Amino acid sequence: MKAKILAFITESDARIEKMEAEFRDSREKLLRDLRELQNQQSEQKSRLEQITKTDLSLMIRRIMEMTGSIQKQDQEIRKVIVENLGGSARTEVVDSDAASYIQYDRGILIQGMRSFWSGFIAIN
């Protein structure tokens, strides 16, 4: 009987030692996996920051290209207006961040306002 109990205890001790070794190995593997995941997270964060900077610079460059294109179109429009109106209009360009504006000769503006008001009065 004592031999059976001693064998059982010895067997239990061996199983416990084996389980402790497995737990240690498992813990070490989990720690390695955790470190690897932390490194991956850090690398992904760095890549995301780089992508964000790249995207932002591309957007800024595209906006600048579009602004330049709009300014060229505005110059062409002004040129066509001046050619079509001949010498009867003077153009005055007011630069702003958004666009350029064309102001017509005061006489043309007054004439347009008169025709608007005469039409408005006739309707009412």
Question: Of 118, 89, 86, 87, which is closest to residue 106 (Cα–Cα)?
Answer: 89
Q: How do the domains of the chain map onto residue ranges?
A: 2-123
pLDDT at residue 100, as a whole number: 43
Label each residue of 1-65 as H, E or C: CHHHHHHHHHHHHHHHHHHHHHHHHHHHHHHHHHHHHHHHHHHHHHHHHHHHHHHHHHHHHHHHH
> Could you give the CA distance from residue 24 to residue 95 in angstroms, rounded to a whole number?
73
> Could you give the CA distance from residue 120 to residue 51 in angstroms, rounded to a whole number?
58
Confidence of residue 90 (pLDDT cuts 50, 70, 90): very low
SS3 99: coil
Predicted TM-score (pTM) of the model is 0.42
pLDDT tens digits along 14-58: 899 999 999 999 999 999 999 999 999 999 999 999 888 888 888
Tokens of 77: 């429009």
